[in-house]
Structure 1
Amino acid sequence: MLKIDKLHAFYGKSHVLHGVSFEVQPGEIVALLGRNGSGRSTTAKAIMGLVDCEGEISWKGQKILGRKTFEIAHLGIGYVPENRDIFPKLTVHQNLMLGQKSVGKPSRWSFDDMYAMFPRLKERQHTEAGVLSGGEQQMLTLCRTLMGDPDLVIIDEPTEGLAPKIVELVGQYLQTLKQKGLSVLLIEQKLTIAMRISDRTLVMGH
């Protein structure tokens, strides 16, 4: 489904990724582990066209390196950044509406699905997103991405700063995605959750 081969990435003159290669198969969860600064988040940004890159990135056999970010998203790749990027002055429901890409077309996910998965969001659907707790904002960002009906979801540090109970909830959520036939690229630092829910675990050492 996703194939990365000899990927190099740059921030200006800084050479950050040095020949990264891996694949994500349909319906599997792949965890990408590594310490801070090892290039995990840069790998996610490279896939989404957010940094300068060299090498090869293919999506379902189609080369996407050099494509614009919105074009990559419309091909079926969802991205949940580590800083969550919610719209703080819009309500929970309005944030979810903004995630939709296929209005009028059949989708695997609906508002009811999101609220059934995270009842707390249903309780707060008319609340401005900026006043939600960190865990609630993480739930909202994940759900907003799903509303775009992606085939692959790239999730960057979903458990960062969350309470243990919420971490467990996120883990269950990712398993639900797999059951729905989605692929997941999970960028994570917590070894325990990554090893427990992933089909394969990759480690970036440098």
Structure 2
Amino acid sequence: MLTVDNLHAYYGKSHVLHGVSFQVQPGEIVALLGRNGSGRSTTAKAVMGMVQAEGRVDWKGQRLLGRKPFEVAHLGLGYVPESRDIFPKLTVHQNLLLGQKGSGKGSRWSFDDMYAMFPRLKEREHTEAGVLSGGEQQMLTLCRTLMGDPELIIIDEPTEGLAPKIVELVGEYLLKLRERGISVLLIEQKLTIAMHISDRALVMGHGSIVFDGTPDALRADAATRKEWLEV
């Protein structure tokens, strides 16, 4: 579905990614793990056409490198940045409306789906997004991306700064996406949630993939965890 091969990325003269290669299959949750500065967010931005990159990124047989971010999104990839990027002066409902492609007809997701999944958003439907809590804003960003009906969603640190109960809710939400056939590339630092819900784990270090295997294999690999993940 998504194939990344020998991906290199740059910020000006700074060479950040060094030959990153991996795949995400249909209906699969893949956790992209690593310490801050390892290249995880840059990988997501490179796939979405947001940074200078070279190599190969294919989505269902189509080349992505060289396309603009909105073109990548229209091909069926959704992106939830760590910064959330809600529209603070618009209401919850208006933010969701902006996430729709065209009229939204034919989408597998509706406003009712979003509000059923996160009842708190229904309660805040007519509230300006800027006054929502951090957890509510994270819910809103995830739902707004889903309203674009992506087949794969890239989520960068969705549990950052959230209370444990909300972290659990986000994990349940991601499992629901998989149930609906949506693939997920989850960039996360919290190993507990990532290892619990993912089908496969990738570990990044110094701009390269240093581990690719199942969560069970990573649990058994104490050396990799100690060198690349643990503080």
Please give the TM-score of this superposition, normalised by the length of structure 1: 0.99
Q: Report deviation, 1:102.
A: 3.6
Q: Residues 91 and 125 of structure 2 are in contact (CA less than 8 Å); yes or no, is this contact kept in structure 1?
A: yes
Give matches, 1:1-206, under 5 Å. Answer: 1-103=1-103, 105-206=105-206
AA matched with 2:67: R
Quick one: distance in 1 between partners of 2:166 and 2:9? Answer: 33
Name stretches of at least 5 consecutive residues in structure 2 with no aligned partner. 207-231
Quick one: distance in 1 between partners of 2:88 and 2:19? Answer: 38
Q: Report deviation, 1:12.
A: 0.2
Quick one: distance in 2 between partners of 1:157 and 1:125? Answer: 24
Q: Report deviation, 1:103.
A: 1.1
Q: Report deviation, 1:104.
A: 5.2
SS in 2 for 1:204: strand
Q: Report deviation, 1:169.
A: 0.2
Identity rate of aligned residues, in percent? 83
Quick one: distance in 2 between partners of 1:49 and 1:21? Answer: 16
| Stretches (4+) displaced over 4 A | none
Q: Residues 39 and 205 of structure 2 are in contact (CA less than 8 Å); yes or no, is this contact kept in structure 1?
A: no
**Cα deviation per residue 1:46-66 (whole Å; 9 max; x = unaligned)?**
000000001000000111111
SS in 2 for 1:106: coil
AA matched with 2:69: T
AA matched with 2:63: K
SS in 1 for 2:153: strand
Aligned length: 206
Q: Report deviation, 1:105.
A: 2.7
Q: What residue is the counterpart of 2:214 in the other structure?
A: none
SS in 2 for 1:37: coil
SS in 2 for 1:19: strand
Quick one: distance in 1 between partners of 2:156 and 2:103? Answer: 26
RMSD: 0.6
Give the structure with higher Rg (CA).
2
Tell me which moved more, 116-125 or 98-107.
Answer: 98-107
**Cα deviation per residue 1:20-45 (whole Å; 9 max; x = unaligned)?**
00000000000000000000000000
Q: Residues 85 and 141 of structure 2 are in contact (CA less than 8 Å); yes or no, is this contact kept in structure 1?
A: yes
Quick one: distance in 2 between partners of 1:105 and 1:87? Answer: 23
